Amino acid sequence: MLSKELVAASTVPLVLSVLGEGESYGYALIQRVRALSRGKIEWTEGMLYPVLHWMEAEGLIESEWREAETGRKRKYYLLRREGRRALQAEREQWLTVHQTLTKLWKTQPHLT
């Protein structure tokens, strides 16, 4: 389980990275992160939406209501150019932390 502080700090880069794969909506975003982290990153699901709205207000992402295959409407989010730039910056920062820690712990970094 991740600490509260780390969950808070990693939400934006995680959202940016998932949306980097293509547009998505809140519920699917959470499912994707849960599956990739094998359940170790557990968000209070409703808390994601204020973050998404903040990111939209900052111009990182944009949203659109569309009808899903279930017939219900969903709000889809996708990355804007500003968001791609932010993703790149986040990526560099998190990799720096990751590389430093792995060197200190003398484990082999498994980076793609």
Partner 1 sequence: MENSTAFDLNNATRRWRDGLSQSPHFREEDLAELEAHLRDAVAELQGRGLTDEEAFLLASRRLGNPARLDSEFAKVNRGQVWLNRVLWMLVGIQGWGLLGSIAHVASNAAVLGGLTGLGYKLPHSADYSSGNLFAAALFALAHLLALTACIAGCWWLVRRKEDTAHKAAVKALQRPVLLGLGLCVFLLTISLSSTVAWRLLVFKYYAPEAIGGIAMAQSLSFFPLALLQTLAFVVLTIVLFRRRVHLGTAS
Which residue lies nearer to partner 1 by CB, 3 or 70?
Answer: 70
Interface with partner 1 (CB under 8 A), residue from 3, 5, 21, 50 = 50
Closest approach, Cβ 42 to partner 1, in A, equals 9
Interface with partner 1 (CB under 8 A), residue from 74, 80, 84, 91 = 74
Which residue lies nearer to partner 1 by CB, 34 or 91?
Answer: 34
Q: Segment contacting partner 1 (CB under 8 A): 2-10, 68-76, 79-87, 88-96? A: 68-76
**Residue pair 49/63 in contact by the 8 Å Cβ criterion:** no
| 57: contact with partner 1 by CB under 8 A | yes
Burial class (CB in 10 A: 0-12, 13-18, 19+), 13: middle
Closest approach, Cβ 37 to partner 1, in A, equals 16
Contacts 24+ apart (CB under 8 A), 2-7: 2/40, 2/41, 2/42, 7/41, 7/42, 7/43
Contact residues for partner 1, defined by CB under 8 A: 25-27, 44-47, 49-50, 53-54, 57, 70, 72-75
